[in-house]
Amino acid sequence: MRTPRAALTAVAAALGGLLLTSGQLAPAQAADAAPGAAVAELPDNAVFHNYPANVHNWVAANPNDPRQPLIASRIASQPQAVWFSNYRPTTVTQDVAAVTSAAAAAGEVPVLVSYMIPNRDCGGASAGGAPTFAAYLDWVEDFAAGLGDGQSVIILEPDSLALTTCLNPTQRAERFNALATAADLIHAASPEARVYFDAGHSAWHSPATMAATLREAGVLRSGDGIYSNVSNYRTTADENAFVQAVLAQLGAPDLRAVIDTSRNGNGPLGSEWCDPPGRRVGQNPTAATGNRLIDAYLWVKLPGELDGCDGPAGSFSPTRAYELAGG
């Protein structure tokens, strides 16, 4: 049987003592240290895995719905991220392994979202997460155990760095240390995993502010890159400029970026982020971005799954999916 705290302590010791044996998070150390051994970059011809999700279930269950053909052809046909957002510590390893093994069998790259940080979304529409940071890091260890030895893309905790207004300085430091440790645990278990840290999006924080936050959270030591626009609608052009500016501020030549293009085909509706009408899906997922700093355009937020205004966050709306698909 796994001994989570002992295993975590051993990993933390090897990584410079990010965690004390009591389970208390130590102050961040060497945040500007050079990253460890480089993870293999995503090749331009990488194919991302399309693992069944809510949209596939709806398409299969509604063959006679007049919206079904368009939703099937424009959304369900595209590879999308798999979110791990429900706290199920006893099954997370096998749940992750189901995704990664299916991707490996197909010769494809899975995209997985770890969404379990305590005090998630500052108590907003997507509130939840692990009950404590000790429980969170145990969960991450189990999450990482399912990744296997193939290449994978890990979107580490959306909004965890861009949204910190509910945290006091102690809580902020605790979160940031946990994120760096989580990335280290993932790399230790699955060296081919590429872990990307939250950079918000182009209309949220300035590149300088976001770079400073990322640096504080240990991206230079523990990350492979950054991501932007998750669950938002900013244009690909704006996000390209933004992430390149953040990377320039970080000054780390090995870091790269991925951008969520799942719902940005029509760009934003002003500043509205919660289920705005009239949006469209954006560029299909691809690793052939034509920009060496941008590893991939991905569909991280699943088109048709709500933000929390037109229904519970994460629930599937065929009406919204049909609209996004161009109906």
Active site residue: 121, 238, 260, 295, which one? 121
**Integer Cα distance of 233 and 280 in angstroms:** 9
C-beta of residue 208 within 8 angstroms of C-beta of residue 249? yes
Active site residue: 184, 224, 295, 307, which one? 307
159 is catalytic: yes
Residues 6+ positions from 167 with CB-CB distance below 8 Å: 119, 122, 175
**Integer Cα distance of 287 and 283 in angstroms:** 11
121 is catalytic: yes
Give the tokens for residue 261.
Answer: 């293009």
C-beta of residue 23 within 8 angstroms of C-beta of residue 9? no
**Integer Cα distance of 232 and 270 in angstroms:** 11
Q: Estimate the crossing angle of helix 92-106 against helix 133-145, to 10 degrees.
A: 30
Q: Tell me how far CA of residue 56 lies from CA of 59, 77, 155, in angstroms.
A: 5, 9, 22
Give the tokens for residue 72.
Answer: 């099937």
Residues 6+ positions from 45 with CB-CB distance below 8 Å: 287, 288
Active site residue: 138, 142, 159, 184, which one? 159
Residues 6+ positions from 290 with CB-CB distance below 8 Å: none
Which residues does residue 114 pair with via DSSP β-bridges, in sequence order?
84, 156
307 is catalytic: yes
**Integer Cα distance of 161 and 176 in angstroms:** 8
**Integer Cα distance of 138 and 131 in angstroms:** 11
Name the residues annotated as catalytic: 121, 159, 307
